[in-house]
Amino acid sequence: MIDSQFMRKKTRQVDVRGVKIGGEATISIQSMLSVPLTQTSLAIEQTRSLLAAGCDIIRVAVPDEASLRAFETFRKEISAPIVADIHFDYRLAIGAANAGFDKLRINPGNIGSPERIRAVADAARSAGIPIRIGVNAGSLPKDITKATPETLFEAARREVELLESHGFRDIIVSIKSHDPALTVAANRLFSNEFDIPLHIGVTEAGLPGKASIKSAVGIGTLIMEGIGDTVRVSITGDPVGEISIARDILRACGAMSGGIEIVSCPTCGRTCVDVVAIAGEVAARLPDSKNHIVVAVMGCEVNGPGEACSADVGIAGGKGEFLAFKKGEVVGKIPAENAVAWLIDAVECIIKGDS
Amino acid sequence: MIDSQFMRKKTRQVDVRGVKIGGEATISIQSMLSVPLTQTSLAIEQTRSLLAAGCDIIRVAVPDEASLRAFETFRKEISAPIVADIHFDYRLAIGAANAGFDKLRINPGNIGSPERIRAVADAARSAGIPIRIGVNAGSLPKDITKATPETLFEAARREVELLESHGFRDIIVSIKSHDPALTVAANRLFSNEFDIPLHIGVTEAGLPGKASIKSAVGIGTLIMEGIGDTVRVSITGDPVGEISIARDILRACGAMSGGIEIVSCPTCGRTCVDVVAIAGEVAARLPDSKNHIVVAVMGCEVNGPGEACSADVGIAGGKGEFLAFKKGEVVGKIPAENAVAWLIDAVECIIKGDS
C-alpha cells in the first residue's frame, strides 16, 4: 500500500457523538438498519452486528412518533452514534433532535418549506448535532426534472445555502445516484466549490455482486481523487454485508489499513500447481488481522518470486512444490500439499508478533 | 447513464486482428487462458467460452516451442485475436510472430538485452502485429528494487523508448500491480506523458469477491478519469468469470452500454415489502439484453417513486402491494406476489420491441 498517493481534499470537521467526519479524520463507515426501531430488540441486535463488523455510524429510519419513543429504550443499550433518517415530516426531525439522536439526515427534496428547515436547524443547534443533507437522484425538488451532475449539485447547493443562511454550518452533504458516473461527477462539482465534508456512496446499487462493483467504482474513484470523508455502501440484503465491502474498497484505495490481503495470480498455461484451491483454502482459514499482512500465492516463475518476495509471506509455484518466502527472503521449498498449512502458520506467527 | 461524463484521453490506435485499441475505439475486454495451448482441445473450448461471454482479445502463455506448434491446430478453429504471452525467451517471441499470433506481450523485466528486444520488434513489424509492453510490479528490471508509481513509470518509459528507437511504434502498454492505488498512480503518470494506448488492470487481485472490488477501484478510477483503452480483470479462478466483472465495471463507468441494471434499495425500517427476495428473483430470472434496461425494485415512498419512475420499468412498494411504472408513467397497482412476474413480463416486452 502506498501511503504517499493518498492525498485528501481538506474539509471542515463535524462531530457525530465523538466520531469525527472531515478534516484529518479517518474515513468512517456507515450503514443503516433494515429493521424498524419499533422492533427494538431486533434493532439493537442488528446494531450490535454492524458495530462488530466495523461500522462506525448507524442510521435508522424515523417514520413516526413511535420510533422516537422506541429510541429511548434503544439508547440505553447502544452508545454508538445514531442518525435519524427523516422524510416528509419536519416535526419528526425536531423530535429526533430532542430525543437524543446524534445526527439528522434530511432529504431536501421532501422536508418542506424554508421555515420548516429553519426550525429543524434550530433544534439541531440546540442539541449540538450535525445535519446531513441527503440529495438523491430519486427524490429531487419538484422543479428539477432530470438528474444530471449539475442539477444534483444545484439541489445540494440550495439546501446548504438555506441552512447556512440560518447560521447553521454543522453540515455533511451526500449526493447519490444509482449511476456511479453521475455520482462521481456531481460530487466532483460539489467538492470543488465547498469545504463541507462529504458522505459518499452509490445508492440503490442492487444485489451484492454488482452492487460491490458499482460501489467500488463510484466510492473508489472519489476516494482516489481525495474526495469523501465518510462512506456508505448500499446493498439489497443484510446491511452487515455492506461493512466488509466498504472496508475492502477503502483498503483498495489505500485509505484504510489492516486486513489480510491475498495476492494470487489468475493462473495461466504455465501454472503447474493448484493456485485456485490453495488461495481459496487460505482465504477461508485465515483469521482477520489489525495490521495489513500480504500473503502471496503465485503459480509460476514469471511474477511469482517477485510478488512472493515483496509479500509478508508468500509461495511461488514450480512443479508440485513451492518456493517459500518470508519478508523478502527465500526460506525453503515446500511440497504443494503442505502449502496451506505453512502459510497459515506463518501468518499466525506474524499476527502473534504484531499484537 | 450519463454519456457526457465519459471523456477519454486520446491515444493513438493499434489494430489486433481487426479489434482496434486506442483512439475512438470502444474499450475492449481481454482475458487469458488458464489452460496451456498444448492441451489444444481444452484451450479451444475455453477460448470459445470466453468469446461467448463477451471477451474481445485472448492471451495465451507461450512458454515453449510445443505451444507454437499447437497454435497451428488452434488457429484453424479460432479466428478471434490471440496474444502470445512470452517471458524469458526472445526466440519464442520471434517464433510467435512468425506463427501468426496477432499480438505479442513482452515483460520488459525479463526478455533480455536491447538487441533481443530489437529482434522481436523486427519480427513483429514483419508480421504486422503490435507489441504490448507489460510492466508488472512483480517482475521489474533488476536495478529497480522498489515498486512506486515513479519506478513503474520509469520501467515502462525505458522499454517504450527502446522499441521506438528501432522505429517500432505499434505499441500498447500496461502497468500493473496488485495494489490498485499504485496501479492508478503509475498509469496516471504514463497517460500524462504518452499517447500510447493503455491496457489497464489490477494484477494478481486474488479471489473473486475481493478481486472484483480491487479491480473496480483500480480500473474504474482510471476509466472515470478517461484513462484506459482495453481492460483485463485478473481473478484467481475460471477466466470466464472475469468477463462479466469487466463488463460490470465498464458499465458502472458509463463506458459500455447494454445489460439489465437492477436498481434496488438497501431496505430500511420503512420497508413493508420483501425487496431483497423480489430483486434477487428478478435478477436470477431476467435474460441478458443488448440494450441498457433499468429495472427498479424499491421498497418505500421516499426514493421509490422517483427511481421507479426514471427506470424503464419499476415498482415502488407500499404495504403488501407496489405501484407499477413504465417509462415514467404509473400503470397501476400490483399485489406483491405478482411483482416478479409483472417485471419479467415487462422487461421481455421491451427486449422484443428492441430487437
Q: Does B280 touch chain A (CB under 8 A)?
A: yes
DSSP letter, residue B322: E
Do residue A280 and residue B236 have CB atoms under 8 angstroms apart? yes
Q: How confident is the model at residue A109 (pLDDT cuts 50, 70, 90)?
A: low
* Choice among A137-146, A163-172, A244-253 with the minimum mean pLDDT: A137-146
Answer with the residue of higher pLDDT: A142 or A40. A40
SS3 at position B39: coil
| Residue A165, min C-alpha distance to chain B (Å) | 26
Q: What is the pLDDT of residues A290-309, one digit of tens each?
A: 889 999 999 877 777 778 88
Q: B2 pLDDT band (50/70/90 cuts)?
A: very low
Specify the pLDDT at position B6.
60
Calpha distance A94→A226 (Å, rounded)? 34
pLDDT at A273: 82
Choose between B267 and A231: higher pLDDT. Answer: A231
Supply the pLDDT for residue A6: 60
* A224-247 confidence digits (pLDDT tens): 999 999 999 999 999 999 999 999
**Model confidence pLDDT, tens digit, residues B188-233:** 999 999 999 999 999 988 898 999 999 999 999 999 999 999 999 9
B262–A136: do the CB atoms touch at under 8 Å?
A: no
Long-range contacts of the stretch A77-81 (C-beta < 8 A, 24+): A77/A44, A78/A44, A78/A47, A78/A48, A79/A17, A80/A17, A80/A47, A80/A51, A80/A56, A81/A16, A81/A17, A81/A18, A81/A19, A81/A56, A81/A57
Instruction: Please indicate if any CB of chain B lies within 8 Å of the CB of A347.
Output: no
Which residues in chain A have their CB less than 8 angstroms from residue B43's CB? 269
Using CA coordinates, name the residue in chain B closest to A86: B302
A177 Cβ under 8 Å from any chain B Cβ = no
Give yes or no for residue A3 having a pLDDT over 50.
no
If 0-12 CB within 10 Å is exposed, 13-18 middle and 19+ buried, where does residue A248 land?
buried
Distance CA A225, CA A232 (A): 17
Q: Provide the pLDDT for residue A2.
A: 43
Q: Torsion-angle region of residue A254: left (phi > 0), alpha (psi -120 to 50) or beta? A: left
DSSP B191-244: HHH--S-EEE--TTB-SHHHHHHHHHHHHHHHHHTT--SEEE---SS-THHHHH
Instruction: Inform me whether the pLDDT recorded for A138 exceeds 90.
Output: no
Q: Is B53 helix (H, G, I), strand (E, B) or coil?
A: helix
- Smallest CA–CA distance, residue B132 to chain A, in Å, is 16
For residue B40, the 8-state DSSP code is H
* Lowest mean per-residue pLDDT among A116-125, B103-112, B118-127: B103-112
Q: What angle do CA B300, B302, B304 make, to 5 degrees?
A: 55
Q: In this structure, are residues A293 and A276 in contact, taking their beta carbons and an 8 Å threshold?
A: no
pLDDT, tens digit (0-9, with 9 covering 90-100), for A310-336: 899 999 987 888 999 998 889 999 998
Q: Does the beta-carbon distance from A269 to B60 stay under 8 Å?
A: yes
Q: Report the phi/psi class of residue B126: left, alpha or beta, with left for phi > 0 and alpha for psi in -120 to 50.
A: alpha
Place of cell 504443494: A336
pLDDT in tens, B41-66: 999 999 999 999 999 999 999 999 99
B87 CB within 8 Å of a chain A CB: yes
In chain B, the residue whose alpha carbon lies closest to the alpha carbon of A256 is B181
For B142-162, what is each residue's pLDDT tens digit? 888 899 999 999 999 998 988
Indicate the fold that domain A14-252 takes in CATH: TIM Barrel (3.20.20)
Percent pLDDT > 70 in chain A is: 97
Nearest-neighbour CA in chain B from A244: distance (Å): 10
Residue of A nearest to B310 (CA): A138
Q: Mean pLDDT of all residues in chain A?
A: 91
Binary contact (A185, B2; C-beta < 8 A) = yes
Q: What's the mean pLDDT when you consider all of chain B? A: 91
Q: Show which of residues 123-162 on chain A sit within 8 Å of chain B, judged by CB atoms.
A: 136-140, 147-149
CA distance A327 to chain B (A): 14
Query: What mean pLDDT comes out for the span A152-161?
Result: 93
Q: What's the rounded mean pLDDT across residues B252-273?
A: 88
- In CATH, the number for domain B259-352 is 3.30.413.10
Asked if B296 lies within 8 A of A204 by C-beta distance, the reply is yes
Does the CB of B323 have a partner CB in chain A at under 8 Å?
Answer: no
Q: CB distance from A69 to chain B under 8 Å? A: no
Query: Would an 8 Å CB–CB cutoff place A28 in contact with chain B?
Result: no
Is B236 part of the contact surface with chain A (CB cutoff 8 Å)? Answer: yes
The C-alpha R_g of chain A, in whole angstroms, comes to: 23
* pLDDT number for residue A4: 40
Q: What is the pLDDT of residues B11-39, one digit of tens each?
A: 999 999 999 999 999 999 999 999 999 99
Nearest one of A197, A202, A205, A251 to A224, comparing CA atoms: A251
Amino acid at the residue B78? I
Q: Do A184 and B224 touch (CB under 8 A)?
A: yes
pLDDT of residue A178: 94
Q: What is the pLDDT of residues A237-289, one digit of tens each?
A: 999 999 999 999 999 999 998 889 999 988 888 887 888 999 999 999 987 78
Residue B4 is predicted with a pLDDT of: 40
Bigger pLDDT: A72 vs A318: A72
Statement: residue B5 has pLDDT above 60: no
CB contact under 8 A, A266 and B237: yes
pLDDT-based confidence at residue A189 (cuts at 50, 70, 90): very high
Question: Given a cut of 60, is residue A1 above it in pLDDT?
Answer: no
- Domain coordinates in residue numbering, chain A: 14-252, 259-352
One-letter-per-residue 3-state SS of chain A: CCHHHCCCCCCCCEEECCEEECCCCCCEEEEECCCCCCCHHHHHHHHHHHHHHCCCEEEEECCCHHHHHHHHHHHHHCCCCEEEEECCCHHHHHHHHHHCCCEEEECCCCCCCHHHHHHHHHHHHHHCCCEEEEEECCCCCCCCCCCCHHHHHHHHHHHHHHHHHCCCCCEEEEEECCCHHHHHHHHHHHHHHCCCCEEECCCCECCHHHHHHHHHHHHHHHHHCCCCCEEECCCCCCCHHHHHHHHHHHHHCCCCCCCEEEEECCCCCCCCCCHHHHHHHHHHHCCCCCCCEEEEEECCCCCHHHHHHHCCEEEEECCCEEEEEECCEEEEEEEHHHHHHHHHHHHHHHHHHHC
* Interchain proximity B213–A212, CB inside 8 Å: yes
A312 in B contact zone (CB under 8 Å): no
Q: Is A110 on the interface with B (CB under 8 A)?
A: yes
Check if B277 contacts A (Cβ < 8 Å): no
Q: State the pLDDT confidence band at B305, using cuts at 50, 70 and 90.
A: confident
pLDDT of res. B65 = 97
